Structure 1
Amino acid sequence: MSGPAILVVIPTTRGPLHLRALKARPGLPAPAAFADGDYRPLPWSADYARLCAAGGPLARLTDGPLPPHELRLSGSFDAGRSWEVPVCLAHGLAARGARFAAEPAEAGLILWATGAVDLDLAVRPGDYALLDKIERARALLAEAPDARLAVLLPEGPERAQAEAAIRALGRSGDPLFLPAGSIMAALAALETGMRPGEAVRPAARRRGRLALPAGALAAAGIAAALALGARQAPVAGPVEAPVTETVPPQAANAAPAPAPNVPEPAPVEKPAALRVEELRAPPGSSCRRVAFGADPPERRPVAVEAEGRLAPSRLAPELCGLAVRAEAPGLRIEVGPELRGAALPPVRLADGAQGYFLREGARQNLVYAVQAIPEAGAPTPGSRLLHALTR
């Protein structure tokens, strides 16, 4: 299509990254993000896969399943969700046939956007450190002084100051400020707000939605593997968090039964190496909304039923998944394939635990093992627990 090459900037508080390429990769088992020159998916690729999954936010942009994509960036970042808005905009532009610039000097338009989205592609208000990100992007923007600048600033405490800071950059043309309410509104503004001859128009439309490039449906089966009805997921990485749990004494070594009228001995407190919690949908929500970050889950610890065994968890509709974490440093967590195969790709929760959200089509009785394995020199002994999910 005609139109300027677009440089999509992903601002971070350590400095801006930019999109190098975004293309369908049907051979990938799941959508994945990569740093330039590296074949290993970035740590937050599981979150990107959720964004692209059938029923996920990006499904709002397409008429059919989104095939696995390779998202290639100039670098990576540690955490956060402010990459979601620029990545969603990039997918929307790609569906409209836009050309992307791999370097600032190639760009006719620079898209600078930040923020997180919800399940309906609305941009979530918040404190996104806008002023800091703008300041750190000055050098990159200066590499393309004649490129048109389009900006999406989410609602938040610094928005007005950030808009003034963008205007004060002294670029050759007036910046195009995009609506901050939703990805769809921002894409529509990009379509109509460009200079004459620069509009990014969709290659085809169907009932007002963006059409996928030809061949997208050929990879539908792979993309569907990320939906809530699929069956495979990667192995979890290490987790850690300091907590303690009460564990009953080992039955085989218990003292003889007490004489009549003698009270039972109290349970012995000892450190536990593992903690497993149920992730439940709060009242009025659903597991689909929880899995895609629209609502936070309620977390309920799973009780220890006996030595090496947790109390079963019932597969009620509000049980969305499980969180697993280590109770001391120096422990590596391994989760059995039975749970991994029934869950979406694991995500790291705010406290460092690994979250396994159950796939809708895999909600069946299962028993899995979770182990805490000490790393070299770890002072804490490991442990192994069995846990059942039952109807």
Structure 2
Amino acid sequence: MDICINGRFLAGPPAATYAVAERLSRALVALGASGAYPADWRMRVLAPPNACALDAGLPVERVGSRTGNLWEQIDLPRAAGGRLLINFAARSPLLLRNGLTMVHDAQVFTAPSSYSLAFRATLKANIRLAGRRQLGLLTVSDFAKSELVGLGLAPAERVHVIPNGVDHALRAPPQTEILARFGLAPRGYALALANLMPHKNIPLLIRAFARPALAGMTLVLVGGTGRAAFAAAGVTAGANVVFPGYVNDGEMRALQENALAVCTPSLTEGFGLPPVEGLMLGTPAVIAPCGALPEVCGPGALQADPHDPSAWEAALLRLRDESGLRARLARDGRAFVARFTWHAAGRRLLEVVDTVAASRGRCPP
């Protein structure tokens, strides 16, 4: 059996779904090298001509002459030629039947204000067609599956859960110089991603850090959304909020390992990589009791009301002041998330492929 992977992720800007696509593809290659699937199975990544060059390891085949959406809708299915096509980044050829598409969450349906009208219209159409026509949908948590099924996008038996891995957080050596660069003391700050999408709910954290009891603690918001963007959106960040901008993997590891907590106040998440990465590195999480966050963080997190800044203040003060609490959460959380590896994700994907292989050519009507 030939397994083709939609390699558009090799030609796009950095994105979380593209990172998942690369890591799952690499996991499949490694499993093949170890003999985890039959020798007559062949896996290759079909990529557009403008795909970036990666280090050796992925069996990349550049196909077609177009780029972007036209490549995905015309050149990609032509090159796949009816073979099983796996799409890891939510989008796929609209007329595809012999395929599997990973839909990481249902947020384009449940949190539409976070997306532009054009984006959500096209993505909704793509997901609906994939759920109706293809062999199945892949997703990353039981919560995400329940939403996809509840929205009628596919029946439960054709939605397969493949949790993300987070062990990539262990690979880059920590670059602790970033702490000194921004005047950060170990355990003296909380970490979150800088994001203005409404469902990410980051302004709540900024309001929490404006409370007097947290004046001596720092909030570090990592990513491309800076202080000026928050101010333009009507959110004024205090002096104890730091915006490092984009950081590399080693800097991110250092920030995660030395934080008091990784904070995720999202109103919904299909998985929620940042707090689980933190737990893999031994840093507890403070999360909203929403979406898949309780499912994937387990005993490594304190939960706080996503509408109440004082609840986040109280949770962080507990972590700072209660003897043994942080160490217990870190220990239990690290043990809980040890299951989330890319090797395990790849093995689960092979199980799904094996399950649907008998249905090839007999896709839903």
User: What's the TM-score once normalised by structure 2's chain length?
Assistant: 0.29
Q: Which one has a larger percent helix, Structure 1 or Structure 2?
A: 2
User: What's the TM-score once normalised by structure 1's chain length?
Assistant: 0.28
